[in-house]
Structure 1
Amino acid sequence: MNRAIGCLAGVLALALWPGAAVAQTGAWETTMAAGMSAHQGGHYAEAEEKFSAALKEAEAFGPEDPRLAASLNNLASLYAARGQAARAEPLSRQALAIREKVLGAEHADVAASLENLGSIYAAQGQYARAEPLLRRALGIREKTLGPEHPEVAQSLNALVELHRARGQAGAAEPLASRALAIAEKGRGPEHPDVATSLNNLAGVRLAQGKYVEAESLYSRALEIREKALGREHPHVGTSLNNIGVLYATRGRSAEAEPVYRQALAIAEKALGPEHPQVATSLNNLALFHVTQGRHAEAEPLSTRALAIDEKALGAEHPSVATDLNNMGLLYASQGDFERAAPVYGRALAIREKVLGPEHPDVASTLTNLAVLRHEQGRLREAVFLYRRAWEIREKALGPDHPQVAASLENYAVLLRAMDHPRMAAPLEARAEAIRAKLPQVQAAK
């Protein structure tokens, strides 16, 4: 299973306190502005240095000064961008507490802190904690700024990514479309915020199996980012990774590999070797090697991706489950079923616990485990697993999704192996009908 990356526009801000000493505020503001410029340019080490210095300066203003809250907020956003959600969370919570007390519950700066904290929770896989914060941020912004303000698009994008992570592409789609329309109107067609909305709408289309639309959106996002941010910006790496996922999903392996390698090089240089985005690129490149039968090249990449994610995100994060799922594929493709089974089992347990029993990612691991049981001759177990995967996909993705066709085909193969051709035939016919509607789509597994 390849992993695409969504994007959030980090909520960075300055805040001025009426009556504050001009010299003090001027020095702090200069430091903060330098940090924001570095952050937005993808120079995260420099941004951390500036934001840390600004925080130290702001502590002199008092424990409830809005400048302290802004400094905490921006440093938290920087940590989150660097994949350090555990460091970001307490700073973001402190910023929110200050702003709610000093500015009131409906202030736009409170919305910024709510969005940052909600996005941090989402990055940690704590989706139930994230959603009410993100919805509250959206409500405040719509009320205080108006329904077409660019910051409303930011809040919509945060909810899009939450829904997509939870396997709720149908809920994400109208939010993503609205975010893109607002960003284009408010920022202009070449702004990086437009690229963020394009990227996120493309991710929804990818999840829906609408691959032609997804490719067009991803390509436009990449073009904007390269032009506006430069070819080595982390967001360019994100776009390249996602285009690689799309190519791999459509069976265009020769095109996927160089894109994955370029995305990995950008992520390692810009974010450092221990960032979760590096793990994503490693994971996707490893899976590519598995599909090509290059197991010796795949295994060290897969092992490194898992180690990064476990360290950065924790042992029960959905990204760890993806790493485990793909490691299971690596073992199974070599016929090492004894190593594959417990790895799949751990991936399934994480996904069911964190994502819920009806998430499409649960269906993917069930399918892989079913293939394994089929290969082992444990056909009755495989029947149960295939049927459950099929039912999840049909409910979550809709009856005409390519992954539903894949489930039907897999189940039909098993039924024929069990000498039930009459039961297999209608499943094969239905899968063929789904494929006929999607002539450009490579079979999903």
Structure 2
Amino acid sequence: MNQLYFADIFKTNIYYDDIYNHFAYVFDQNGNWTEAKKLQVKVMEKRQQLLGPTHPQTLTSMANLASTYWNQGKWTEAEKLQVEVMKKRQQLLGPAHPHTLTSMNNLASTYGDQGKWTKAEKLQVEVMEKRQQQLGPAHPDTLTSMGNLALTYQNQGKWTRAEKLQVEVMERTQQVLGPAHPDTLTSMGNLAGTYQSQGRLTEAKVLLVQVASKRRDVLGFDHPYTQLSLKALNDFQRSEIICPKISHSEERNVTISDYMPAFIEAFRKTTYVDANKHVTP
């Protein structure tokens, strides 16, 4: 009798737990992070009590809460949960399980947002290599990992490494998804940024023109991404008037942020991420 009683209580708690979780998702999707966080904390604590600290659903609830912290810019809180989720998934599922790799990617993203590029790079290299082994070099998830690592190289000024990866991502994305796919255009924009930062203005301009033109044709002139691309191209063309006045030795030290802020706005906002950056399986 007691066992049946406690079984009913367990089922009831799980039922309400699911309701809380669904409402938290709705709040999250609408950008109501405060309300989402309240419900996600309740869900996480209930799952820890009922299922234990290492149950897959408990870890998912922790990852969801970490994602909300990330959306609020609470990097320290997000990082703490993500480290715990990653370690437990590594122990329970193994270092190469898709959920483990997602956890590593999420944590790397949070490291990057804090400027912890060395830590981010280390995780992203591991994720990329494991996905290449498991999924192959042309799988979308593999290309996502390569794109993420390339941007981390870019943020550290490692232009040669960034370029090598970005060229490969662009070429494979063009083959797999087509020349006008949003991911293809994003890869072209990211590569243009690397060319720009190296002072290779002609190569950057060719890519920028292609991206702006294809976005206009596919999405329409008034689409936000088209407008961002056109603004980036316009700012780039104006920068060409300034850049020739810079000596060759000085030009090597010029970066995107020095004279092309719209470029970052246009392409960093649509960069390679795992789903919505923080995947919580």
In 1, Cα distance between equivalents of 2:211 and 2:60? 30
- Of 353, 356, 360, the residue aligned with 2:219 is 353
- Which residue pairs with 2:10 in the alignment? none
- Which residue pairs with 2:85 in the alignment? 221
In 1, Cα distance between equivalents of 2:78 and 2:22? 20
Distance 1:282 1:339, change over 3 A: same
The answer to whether 1:178 aligns with 2:44 is: no
- Which residue pairs with 2:192 in the alignment? 328
- Which residue pairs with 2:9 in the alignment? none
In 2, Cα distance between equivalents of 1:346 and 1:200? 38
- Which residue pairs with 1:211 in the alignment? 75
- Of 157, 160, 177, the residue aligned with 1:296 is 160
Measured after TM superposition, the shift of residue 283 of structure 1 is 0.9
- Deviations 1:90-112, CA, capped at 9 Å, x for gaps: xxxxxxxxxxxxxxxxxxxxxxx
Amino acid at match of 1:296: T
Distance 1:220 1:274, change over 3 A: same
- Deviations 1:379-412, CA, capped at 9 Å, x for gaps: 9xxx9x85xx69xx9xxxxxxxxxxxxxxxxxxx
Normalised TM-score (structure 2): 0.63
- Of 122, 131, 135, the residue aligned with 1:271 is 135
In 1, Cα distance between equivalents of 2:189 and 2:42? 36
The answer to whether 1:149 aligns with 2:13 is: no
Distance 1:178 1:255, change over 3 A: same
Distance 1:147 1:233, change over 3 A: same
2:115 aligned counterpart, secondary structure:
coil
The answer to whether 1:287 aligns with 2:148 is: no
1:190 aligned counterpart, secondary structure:
coil
In 2, Cα distance between equivalents of 1:171 and 1:232? 34
**Equivalenced residues, count:** 232
Normalised TM-score (structure 1): 0.42
Structural RMSD (CA): 4.3
- Which residue pairs with 1:254 in the alignment? 118
Identical-residue share of aligned pairs (%): 27
What runs of 5+ residues in structure 2 fail to find an aligned partner?
1-13, 244-258, 270-281
In 2, Cα distance between equivalents of 1:338 and 1:172? 43
In 2, Cα distance between equivalents of 1:173 and 1:272? 40
Contact 1:328–1:340 (Cα < 8 Å) also in 2: yes
Contact 1:234–1:270 (Cα < 8 Å) also in 2: no
- Deviations 1:349-403, CA, capped at 9 Å, x for gaps: 649939x9558x986x678657634532379xxx9x85xx69xx9xxxxxxxxxx
Measured after TM superposition, the shift of residue 176 of structure 1 is 6.4
The answer to whether 1:192 aligns with 2:56 is: yes
- Deviations 1:161-183, CA, capped at 9 Å, x for gaps: xx4xxxx6x24664466356435
Amino acid at match of 1:338: T
- Aligned counterparts, 1:74-223, within 5 A: 146-149=15-18, 153=21, 163=29, 170-171=31-32, 174-175=35-36, 178-179=39-40, 181-182=42-43, 184-186=45-47, 187-223=51-87
What runs of 5+ residues in structure 1 fail to find an aligned partner?
1-144, 394-445
